[in-house]
Amino acid sequence: MSHLYKIKNKNKELIRFNPNKAQRDFDNKKWNRNIILKSRQLGFTTFETIDGLDDALFTPNHDGLFIAQDLQTAQDIFNNKVELAWENFPLELKPLWQVDKNSVRKLKFAFGDGSYSSLTVDSTGRSGTYHRLHITEFAKVEKDFPQKAREILEGSIPAIPTNGRIDIESTADGSDGKFYNMFWEAWERGEPKLPTEYKAHFYSWLWDEEIDDIKPVQELPIEFREYQKLNNLTDKQITYYYFKWLALNKDWSALRKEFPTTPYEAFLSSGNKLFDNLKLAEFKTREGRRENDWVFYDEYIPKHRYAIGADVAEGVGQDSSTAIIWDFTNVRPVVVARYASNKIAPDIFAFELRRGGEKFGTCLIAVERNNHGHATIAKLKEIYPVGEIYRDEKDRLGWETNLVSKPKMMYDLSTAVNDNLIDIPDNALISEMRRYDKENLNTQKFDEEATQHYDILMAAAIGFQMKNEDSKFSFSFGDKVFDADNADKYKKTADLQSKGVVSTPMTDLLPWKNEEERLRLEKEEVLRQAKESERRDRPYWFS
């Protein structure tokens, strides 16, 4: 491509097209389906039009479609990029094709053997079969022309064959919408495994070759020096960034949107997200150890205090039944495991919760008491210590999410995230946090038309509410068994062991390998309870 085509540079000069380093990088890493989040002035529109023209000229029976955000932009791209490149194509090569320019914003090339190729630039998807589709500034199309965006998603994109190519590129325009969701889904998944899965690419302003010609400015505002240190930038780079800020009338929001340093910055223009995207970016995620639908990040540590939050679904392939296990022992609570499945029935889900609970010391389990949750709770009562199933203040088993409890539990969790008070290694949970809007706080019921159900996030928020909950135990004294309501007076008895009172988390219902193991665990529980009062002096998680 670098020998055949001419373009206009930023100074409106006609020059030979030579891909810059961002364009070359993308060309080397591209996939069948690409979604590109980019900074301004990196020339992706120019690269895609030249590359599309190259495909049309040298691939018989190849039809490409380039969709711009509006008709004026489409006409400008066709005139000043596609047509300009063809008009300045080497004269000695032009006779190889017969060119039909009768259609609006379309070049059609005949190869002389009955085969044809074409490149069309338009503001909407045209009827017909295309092998390559490029959509420019899709975030803006979504915002300004939602019906057009829907037509592209439901008509133009599905029409491209599996072995064809789709490129969607855009600067960010708010932290919601299809472009936002499609980018983060691809970015967080990593390398695609299927030809129809999108590969995410991010090109920040640091790819701009103009930086090489910048002369550093020594006197910069203190916030730019701090930003330079935070992002490990050179003097040239921070000077470039400062110049862009001045060009945008010192608008920080516009600077992050038009010239993002990270993908998280790019989507910061909207203030409607409950969780701080920059704080979410600071979490150090890990792969975890998979066991079927469970992912474990840490092993069980005796004497640690764990709790499980569970959100129950119907199990018919739509939203998922989910569980998050928290470790509340240290000052910074941490997620240690996650479960998610959209195919498990509510009653069978109880067995998975038992598995997670037993794996982490027969810990407290809080199951959301929704329609499907009742079936899970009913089964869980049969197979798990009932004293370790969360009860509300009205002595009802299960957690109720309503218009009062939902905002509280979500804001509690967002405060912990935004104030950097917890650790989350789970990428799926962080992904749902990143997408969660404040208006979702008023949504209670499952919506089958919704594309985001936040099942993992709900389980995490329910589980996080257990930070101040004590487990409830049964106590045995001789041949007597005391339930959880009468247990407190024995907890406070100083001579527990001397009186022969033994505390156990309803272990009578659980199978033990031998009596020695049972006695050992009972002794550990007595020691644990002896330290119960110490927890009340710890940070607010335990107050």
- pTM exceeds 0.75, yes or no: no
Q: Are residues 288 and 418 in the same domain?
A: yes
Q: Are residues 190 and 253 in the same domain?
A: no
465-518 pLDDT, tens digit per residue, is 999 886 544 433 333 334 444 434 333 333 343 344 434 443 333 344 455 655
Considering 468, 485, 500, which residue would you say is the last residue of a domain?
A: 468
Residue 20 in any domain: the answer is yes
Residue 94 in any domain: the answer is yes
End-to-end C-alpha distance for the chain, whole angstroms: 67
Cα separations (Å) of 176 from 25, 38, 167, 231? Answer: 27, 16, 20, 26
Dihedral angle at the C-alpha atoms of 20, 66, 137, 139, nearest 10 degrees?
-140
Residue 193 in any domain: the answer is yes
Q: Are residues 294 and 152 in the same domain?
A: no
Q: Residue 183 sits in a domain of what CATH number?
A: 3.40.50.300
Q: Are residues 226 and 302 in the same domain?
A: no
Give pLDDT, residue 277: 80
* Model confidence at 246: pLDDT above 70: yes
If one compares 316 and 450, the residue with the highest pLDDT of the two is: 316
Query: In this structure, what token pair is assigned to residue 195?
Result: 């030809």
Q: Are residues 293 and 211 in the same domain?
A: no
Angle formed by the axes of helices 427-435 and 178-189, nearest 10°: 170
Q: Are residues 221 and 310 in the same domain?
A: no
Taking the C-alpha atoms of residue 399 and residue 393, their distance in angstroms, rounded to an integer, is 10
Taking the C-alpha atoms of residue 521 and residue 501, their distance in angstroms, rounded to an integer, is 14
Q: Are residues 156 and 196 in the same domain?
A: yes
Q: Are residues 124 and 261 in the same domain?
A: no
Q: Are residues 505 and 534 in the same domain?
A: yes
Q: Are residues 377 and 451 in the same domain?
A: yes
Give pLDDT, residue 168: 97
Three-state SS for 14?
strand
* DSSP-assigned beta bridge partners for residue 108: 100, 118
Please provide the DSSP assignment of 230-243 as one string.
HHT--HHHHHHHHH
Q: Residue 396 sits in a domain of what CATH number?
A: 3.30.420.240
Residue 537 in any domain: the answer is yes
User: How large a percentage of the chain has pLDDT more than 90?
Assistant: 62
Residue 85 in any domain: the answer is yes
Taking the C-alpha atoms of residue 22 and residue 46, their distance in angstroms, rounded to an integer, is 12
Q: b/e map of 6-42 (b: 16 or more CB within 10 Å)?
A: bbeeeeeeeeebebbebbeebeeeebbbbbbbbbebb
Considering 174, 203, 232, which residue would you say is the last residue of a domain?
A: 203
Number of domains present in the structure of the chain: 4
Taking the C-alpha atoms of residue 93 and residue 287, their distance in angstroms, rounded to an integer, is 53
Considering 437, 453, 468, which residue would you say is the last residue of a domain?
A: 468
Residue 158 in any domain: the answer is yes
Phi, psi of 542 (to 5 degrees): -115, 5
Residue 277 in any domain: the answer is no
78-137 pLDDT, tens digit per residue, is 999 999 999 999 999 999 999 998 888 999 999 999 999 999 999 887 667 899 999 999
Q: Of all helices (H) and strands (E), which one includes residue 257?
A: helix 252-258
Q: Are residues 83 and 211 in the same domain?
A: no
- Contact predicate 102/109, CB 8 Å: no
Q: Which domain holds residue 523?
A: 474-542
Q: Are residues 489 and 379 in the same domain?
A: no
